[in-house]
Amino acid sequence: MYKILILSILFITCSNSVMMQEGNFVKEKKELIKLKSELDEFYKIKEDEYKRNKNELLSLDKSIQSKLDLIDETKKSNQKILDEITLKISSKAMTMYGKMKLKIVKNILEEKIKAGQINEVFDIITRLKTKRVMNLLKKFDTKTSTELMDMLKNHKQKEGK
């Protein structure tokens, strides 16, 4: 009897301890399920925020791109107008250089060369008539004439290519 009593107490204690462990597992399982649902909700909120932010950024990108395109179009239009104005001014200047006395044109061009604007002088010379250019080159000193002739030769070779 005594053994039965001890065995029954031992059995009750073991079964009670198993129930406590099962209760702890159930409690932990419920906490994990609750934590998982909270995390799922948190991630869903963050994903929605991400999608909204992404859409806003895409919208901003499109807006910026359309404004850049407009700026490029305006720039091209303005450059075209500027080129037309420069061409008109240049053609008027060429007309004036063509009508001036050679000595005056030579003096003007020499001043430009002294100021380091030999490329501008070259540009002017390429637009004048060949006979006028030859007469001008005769009036320059040998060094300047040689340099301008070399530039003309290189320009003709580039045009030929």
Per-residue pLDDT tens over the stretch 105-152 = 888 888 888 898 888 888 888 878 888 888 888 888 888 888 888 888
Classify residue 14: in a domain, yes or no: no
Same domain membership, residue 93 and residue 106? no
Same domain membership, residue 157 and residue 113? yes
pTM (global) more than 0.75: no
Dihedral over Cα of 87, 147, 136, 112: its sign: positive
Same domain membership, residue 116 and residue 85? no
User: Of 58, 81, 99, which residue is a domain's last?
Assistant: 99
Share of the chain above pLDDT 70, in %: 83
Whether 80 shows a pLDDT value over 70: the answer reads yes
Same domain membership, residue 95 and residue 57? yes
Q: Which DSSP string do the residues of 4-44 spell out, in sequence order?
A: HHHHHHHHHHHHHHHHHHHHHHHHHHHHHHHHHHHHHHHHH
Whole-number average pLDDT of the chain = 82
State the residue range of the domain holding 134. Answer: 100-161
The pLDDT of residue 4: 72
Same domain membership, residue 116 and residue 92? no
Number of domains forming the structure of the chain: 2
Classify residue 13: in a domain, yes or no: no
Asked if 152 and 126 count as a contact pair (C-beta separation under 8 A), the reply is: yes
The pLDDT of residue 15: 56
What integer is the mean pLDDT of 57-71?
Answer: 95
What integer is the mean pLDDT of 39-63?
Answer: 94
Classify residue 15: in a domain, yes or no: no
